[in-house]
Chains A and B, each alone.
Chain A
Amino acid sequence: MISRAQNQKDNSNSEMTESNQANVKHLSSIEQKELPFYEVILRSTAFWILVILVILTAIFGYLTPNNVFIKPETLFTIGLNASQILILAVGATILLASKNMDLSIGTNLILTSTLAAKVLKIVAGTPQEIMSGSYPNLTNAVIAAIGASIIFGGLFGMINGLIVTKLKMEAFIASLATMMIYWGISLVITQGASEVGIPRALQLGFGHKKLFDLIPYPLIVALIISGVMWLVMRFTKFGLYTCAIGSSAESAERSGIRTDLYIISIFALVGVLAGIAGFFDLARFATTNPQGHQTDGLMAITAAVMGGTSLKGGRASIPGAMLGALIPTIIQTGLVILGVGAFYQMIATGFFLVIAVYLDKKRYAGYLD
């Protein structure tokens, strides 16, 4: 200790203060990277997606007869139609932030909604009662169905997390496999047929219900869930750890974070979101849709990436994903009203994905300069 103190005194005390000053000067140069507020906005992908959305809405508003497209009712219907992909896109964003992905959320949704429908019907009453359209235990049945959606959705999500962490597989491969497995199981269970006998009360009480006769309930729930997830990602330890794991799993591990546990939890959480989106199917259409939703996992990733979240992990833009999720629905609805084939929606979405990611890369490169 004494030798150190002497050494320091002898050799490097003056040198040290000198170079410390140089440090301060040198390090503060990075301060330039902190941008004024408007510049932050201009550089955010979410902002440009919003601009695209406004332009698209204006174009469709101008083109559609009587400007019907920009009537509040139409816009809220678009919101209603987008409510499921909204939730899924938020989930995809959280997973991407952790440098994972889940292609299986679409088929998780199908399987979960199928199982939830079975649970609902079992609890609601005897098959005879249901055939005749009476549901003696309706309230309990609905609660059980919501519970089943959350539990099964979470479980199927968690399975992906377990494969990724315990079997050390890429999330892409793991969820590709479960995507097929979940869809296969739901087809085996349903023989490809939609579930019938779901009480209409579910539509009247939630799926078709509107606040102030204007804002659809499912959209409100989707927005609340997205908002909560945004707060979680931005302000909590869970959000920080998710981004830390995505940014550098090794450093997260070395900082004492139990990364496997977190990754499993993130997959389970996103599974729960898929399960809730699956319940929306029951509530909105009073049926399941085993033939739809297979590509929802990809669409959710599309929305997240358009919104500025990259596959490289470490970052999440939930507002961006929410806006990105609206693009396909807006184009589709606009084209339908115009009487143009809705398939063009996919072509347009593909183009927007390329443009959005290109802009994002340029922005990112500028940021790194």
Chain B
Amino acid sequence: MNICKVDDQIAIEVKGIKKNYGHLQALRGVDLKVVKGEIVALIGDNGAGKSTLAKIICGAIQKSEGELYFWGEKTDVQSINHAHKIGVFTVYQDLSLAPDLPVSDNLFLGREIMRNGFLGKLGVLDRKTMRNESKKALAALGIGLKSISVDTRALSGGERQALAIAKAVTWANTALIMDEPTAALGARQSAIVYDTIRAASARGLAVLVISHDIPKMVSFADRIVVLRHGCVVASLEAKKTTLQEVLNFMLGGRGENKDD
């Protein structure tokens, strides 16, 4: 524990992270910093190690070597639950919601509000408060559901994904990690999701997005980090870079690729 180094701006710091699967080196010493409120897009070709890195940060898998810091404090993330305790939440494509439950039950799943007193001790839920709090939480993220008691199944893909992000944002206080948050969505649906991500970063969460939608990331993210063969090859300020530059780093060529 390096308490004296505690930093209240750098939410996530990754130092020299390596991950080996047998002889395969998925990550060969990655360094990355994500500042409070920053949206970092993690970009790279298939097999570049994006998902592996995200999984190590969110506790789904363990690193082979290297160091992880949250708010400047060295932490070995043991599990997804451990990451939750640190305030790091991951949004899984459609997997973090139970389709048969109403929106508010889903938002509070695992962290329910109980009734006061004896009923609460019996395990009785305070659904009224949960509904009201859900409304507030969703409204704060710009998700204007008028009916909070509708089943999650009845929502569209974009709405479900926005709700999944809202669920993570409601409980996260360090970082939000997303692997292809809009992969299965159309343009309109994706817009809902991007607005929710933006709202999350405005709350001071560090946001790490893995995406194949590179043009969108160049306009949407604050910083683009390009991974290739398990190494960070570029960390570019999104405003000062171009799609061409990002693609060049990603594919390893310089100016040989077609512009699109």
**Chain A interface (Cβ < 8 Å from any Cβ of B):** 1, 3-8, 10-12, 16, 19-20, 22-24, 26-28, 30-31, 33-34, 232, 235-238, 240, 243-244, 246-248, 250-252, 254-257, 313-315, 367-368
Contact = CB atoms under 8 A, between A and B. Distances in A.
Interface string B125-151: 101000000000000001111110111
Interface stretch (B31-39, B61-69, B227-235, B244-252): B31-39
B223 to A, nearest CB: 8
Contacts of A247: 98-101
Nearest to A11: B219
B180 interface: no
Nearest to A310: B100
Nearest to B38: A4
B109 to A, nearest CB: 4
Contacts of B220: 12
A7 B222 contact: yes
Given A20-B142, A24-B144, A30-B155, A248 B99 contact: yes
A31 B146 contact: yes
Given A243-B101, A314-B101, 18 more contacts: A3-B239, A20-B144, A22-B191, A24-B144, A27-B159, A31-B150, A33-B154, A34-B149, A34-B150, A236-B125, A237-B114, A240-B112, A247-B99, A248-B97, A251-B92, A254-B80, A256-B110, A314-B99
B154 A30 contact: yes
B144 A28 contact: yes
A23 B144 contact: yes
19 contacts: A4-B201, A19-B195, A23-B142, A30-B156, A34-B147, A232-B123, A235-B125, A235-B127, A243-B100, A247-B98, A248-B97, A248-B99, A251-B96, A252-B110, A255-B110, A314-B99, A314-B100, A315-B100, A368-B153
A30 B125 contact: no
B179 interface: no
A5 B198 CA distance: 10
A248 to B, nearest CB: 4
Contacts of A246: 100
Interface in B153-186: 153-156, 159, 162
Given A1-B38, A28-B146, A368-B153, A254 B99 contact: no
Nearest to B204: A1
A6 B38 CA distance: 11
B80 to A, nearest CB: 7
B140 to A, nearest CB: 11
B198 A243 contact: no
Interface size grouping (class) on chain B: 35 or more
B122 interface: yes
Contact of B145 (A28, A235, A315): A28
B128 to A, nearest CB: 11
A183 to B, nearest CB: 34
A150 to B, nearest CB: 19
B84 interface: yes
Interface string B92-112: 100111111100010001111
A252 B167 CA distance: 13
A256 B101 contact: no
A4 to B, nearest CB: 5
B81 interface: yes
A11 B144 CA distance: 23
B6 interface: no
B165 to A, nearest CB: 13
A100 to B, nearest CB: 15
Contact of B9 (A1, A10, A232, A257): A1
Nearest 3 pairs of A and B residues by beta carbon: A314-B100, A24-B144, A255-B110
A26 B198 contact: no
A12 B112 CA distance: 35
B139 to A, nearest CB: 9
A244 B36 CA distance: 33
Q: Which of A246, A247, A256 has the most CB atoms of chain B within a 10 A radius of its CB?
A: A247
B198 A8 contact: yes
B258 interface: no
B213 interface: no
B37 A30 contact: no
A5 B98 CA distance: 35
A132 B193 CA distance: 78
A359 B36 CA distance: 53
Contacts of A26: 159, 188, 192
Contacts of A28: 144-147
Given A3-B237, A257-B110, A252 B98 contact: yes
Nearest to A313: B100
A232 to B, nearest CB: 8
A235 B124 contact: yes
A24 B144 CA distance: 4
A232 B125 CA distance: 10
Contacts of A314: 98-101
B39 A4 contact: yes
Nearest to B97: A251
Contacts of B99: 247-248, 314
Interface in B55-84: 80-81, 84
B98 A27 contact: no
B238 interface: yes
Contacts of B84: 256
A240 B105 contact: yes
A203 to B, nearest CB: 34
B123 A33 contact: no
Contacts of B114: 237
A34 B105 CA distance: 16
Contacts of A20: 142, 144, 195
